[in-house]
Amino acid sequence: MWQPTPNFIKSTNLYKQMQKKGFEHYQDFYQWSITNRKDFWDTTVKALDIQLKTPYSTVLDDSDIEQPVWLKDARMNIVDSCFKAKPDQTAIVYQKENGDAIQTLSFQDLEAYINRIANALIENGLQQGDTIGIDMAMNVEAVAIYLAAIKAGMQVVTVADSFSPDEIKVRFEIAPPKLVFTQDYLLRGGKKLPLYDKVLQAGAEKIVIVPAIENTDVRIRRQDLFWDEFLSDKTEFVSVEMSPLDTITVLFSSGTTGNPKAIPWNHTTAIKSAADGFYHHDIQSGNVVAWPTNLGWMMGPWLIYATLINNGTIALFEGSPMSEAFGRFVQDATVNMLGVVPSIVRAWKNAGTMENFDWSAIKCFSSTGESSNPNEMTYLMQLAGNKPVIEYCGGTEIGGGYVTSTLIQTNIPSTFSTPALGSEFVIVNEEGKLSDKGEVFLVPPAMGLSFKLLNRDHHQVYYEGTPKIDGKLLRRHGDFLQRMDNGYYRVMGRTDDSMNLGGIKVSSLQIEELVNSHIAVTESAAIAVSPPEGGPARLVLYIVPNGIVDKELLQHELQKLIKQKLNPLFKIYDVVIIEKLPRTASNKIMRRVLRQAYQKQMHDEV
């Protein structure tokens, strides 16, 4: 474990805010944050120095708990709050995988770049309220395009660069963009992976291509543009005034049905991200923050807001986080906070690739996306000379975390020390009673919680049929949580039929629909199982075959199908041939029974 020293505690954002409010003990401060929500969020908005064009009349109108109004009557643009740092301070430090020198971009230069893009959007016929799409690597251009569109009053639909054309198409059909930004290629591990071609296959109406290589060989359609043709020379642009609850981003998260949920983020969602960065990750002015991610996942926008609103520096490495080049970048960019997905740490531990670098500048790590393994998290801590890991669990529909850690409490690998400040949850067992082990339900309101979905009934998804405890309205979330004897928490997986694979949330149904299209498969069930020692979930397929099949050959073909049609990051751990799938009386597949059986088998083998 890691124990903060008294001097370190006093240096944190969290402790300083506690002192301002007259609190000495963290638990008292947390309790105040949920019993005095209006005061807490008013204090937080002021601590983050959120820029408002018109002040709010009240920080929260919770007359309708499911549809709360945050920052009522205010007018703002969240991009303004990303540029409060000194103009010459470094906003982004970045490097490509090919070993080019590390480069930097100041806040002043980043804002000028954003203004050129915002002007170009207007010059190309877009206007306030329009939607653009981004399907790119997490690089300087992606960050600038994202912020420019929001500054111009537009909304951004973001898609992860690993998705297949079919998955890109699904997302663009739900939130159609008038203009899509992408690259000619993704450069990973010395390979050129076509990206423009994938976006073309997805049916994008008009595309702007940011070349990843000089003198690109990609051939484009007549209506499409290369980056240099698109950019404006105008470097001044006044941000468009918006309501705090206007949509700025459309992100996607799997539910238990085939199509992903389309979750709009608004200006206040970004405040939640920044608040978690301020309180729980202790991002301070000048801190360098790295998190290998993508704008298609919530941690992409989170990284932008949590860093820039707190006057920090975003560290971007355009390449694989598995490579030694990434480890050297973390060292040379003097990264202070490094975010990970546990699968990455496992790969680092197995290969030993990060052990030769000096990561002593790191103040803390953060881990999210999937369950972690304490042995691997201890290994991660030692890579930086025993630095803490902020376990961080939430969701796209939260804008950040609901359970996390702090830097003023004892840090124990793979455990969470506290609910996130300003957020409250309860654990409910199968009998519908409060318990130390069971399903998590959130207690609204909290800034960042979604209040609408583009392609689902929000009430039905999150509130319909939820239990009432102590008269509180509860919001469904779906994690299975355990409160341990020391008061800390462990996330034990999902209670529904969605899963986290390599940090990516996907529904069982999405995988099963694809697997069932194989000629040798009659029907299937996809489950995620955690290894006995803990750590990232493994994908297991139960298959009812259409005749006699070769299991190894079938697994190889199904893996190829998933790679082509869904996501190459989804790896099949095992295929189990079964005569029939267990079903309920209403004919639903009992995936929980299969999970329990496979989990027991793994434990017995150990």
Q: Which two tokens stand for residue 388?
A: 């803490």
Q: Give the rounded percent of residues in the chain with a pLDDT score beyond 70.
A: 97
Give pTM, 2 decimals.
0.87
Q: Is residue 386 a contact partner of residue 411, using CB atoms and an 8 Å limit?
A: no
The vertex-291 CA angle with 289 and 296, nearest 5°, equals: 130
pLDDT of 268: 98
In the sheet where 418-419 sits, what is the strand order?
393-395, 400-404, 418-419
Mention every residue, 6+ apart, whose C-beta is less than 8 A from residue 250. 131, 155, 156, 157, 158, 174, 175, 262, 263, 264, 265, 454
User: Mean pLDDT in the chain?
Assistant: 93
Q: Quick: pLDDT tens for 74-132.
A: 999 999 999 999 999 999 999 988 778 999 999 999 999 999 999 999 999 999 999 99
**What are the start and end residues of each CATH 3.40.50.12780 domain in the chain?**
84-385
Cβ partners under 8 Å of residue 239, min gap 6: 77, 79, 80, 151
pLDDT digits (tens, 9 = 90+) for 449-473: 999 999 999 999 999 999 888 889 9
Give the number of other Cβ atoms within 10 Å of residue 585's Cβ: 5
- Tell me the CATH architecture of domain 400-494: Roll (2.30)
What mean pLDDT is predicted for residues 35-61?
98
| pLDDT at position 256 | 46
Q: What is the pLDDT of residue 399?
A: 97
For CATH 3.30.300.30, the residue range(s) in the chain are 501-605
Q: What pLDDT, on the 0 to 100 scale, is given for residue 587?
A: 58
Does residue 238 or residue 538 have the better pLDDT? Answer: 238
**pLDDT at res. 565:** 86
Q: Does pLDDT of 35 surpass 50? A: yes
Find out if CATH 3.30.1280.10 is the number for domain 501-605: no
Domain ranges in the chain with CATH number 2.30.38.10? 400-494
pLDDT of res. 364: 98
> Which amino acid would we find at residue 578?
I
What are the DSSP calls for 258-317, one per residue? SSPEEEEEEHHHHHHHHHHHHHTS---TT-EEE----TTSTHHHHHHHHHHTTT-EEEEE
In this predicted structure, the answer to whether residue 598 has a pLDDT above a threshold of 80 is yes
b/e per residue 126-151 (b: at least 16 CB within 10 A): beeebbbbbbbbbbbbbbbbbbbbbb
The architecture CATH gives domain 84-385: 3-Layer(aba) Sandwich (3.40)
